[in-house]
Amino acid sequence: KHDVPVGDYRWLTLVSPENPEGVELLLEPDAHPAAQPFKAAIKADLIPYTSFQVDDLDAEYERLKNLGVRFTIEPMRAGKVKVAVFDDTCGNLIQLMQVCAGS
């Protein structure tokens, strides 16, 4: 949505084409010396870098899978939530989470 030069970097944000006024994600640079070791360590330990709550995890899983997203954890129950995890191809694991009914 936004591409603004900021010195050696750029302020880049993304939105869904279906909802351009909805959630806007900022893509941060990872040039800081601590960024790469941190990202590698949490990925090696299978810890998601971030998590997004969705209303229907199974439907979102199928939609993303059909778009070629590679999931490292398929939808599974984890206590009062259902989760799935995918690789964002930039060195991060991203978790999707749905609060289960009756929880």
94 confidence band (pLDDT: 50, 70, 90): very high
Q: Are residues 69 and 21 in the same domain?
A: no
- What is the tally of structural domains in the chain? 2
Q: How many CB atoms lie within 10 A of CB 61?
A: 20
For a pLDDT cut of 70, what percent of the chain falls above it?
A: 98
Q: Are residues 51 and 23 in the same domain?
A: no
pLDDT 10s digits, 7-23: 888 888 989 898 999 98
Domain assignment of residue 54, given as a range? 46-103
| 86 closest CA partner among 66, 69, 62, 63 | 69
Cα separation of 48 and 93, whole Å?
4
Q: Are residues 27 and 51 in the same domain?
A: no
User: What CATH number does the domain containing 66 carry?
Assistant: 3.10.180.10
With helix as H, strand as E and coil as C, how does the chain read?
CEEEEECCEEEEEECECCECCCCCEEECCCCCCCHHHHHHHHHHCCCCCEEEECCCHHHHHHHHHHCCCCEEEEEEEECCEEEEEEECCCCCEEEEEEECCCC
Higher pLDDT, 30 or 87: 87
Q: What is the pLDDT of residue 103?
A: 55
What is the value of pTM for the model shown? 0.80
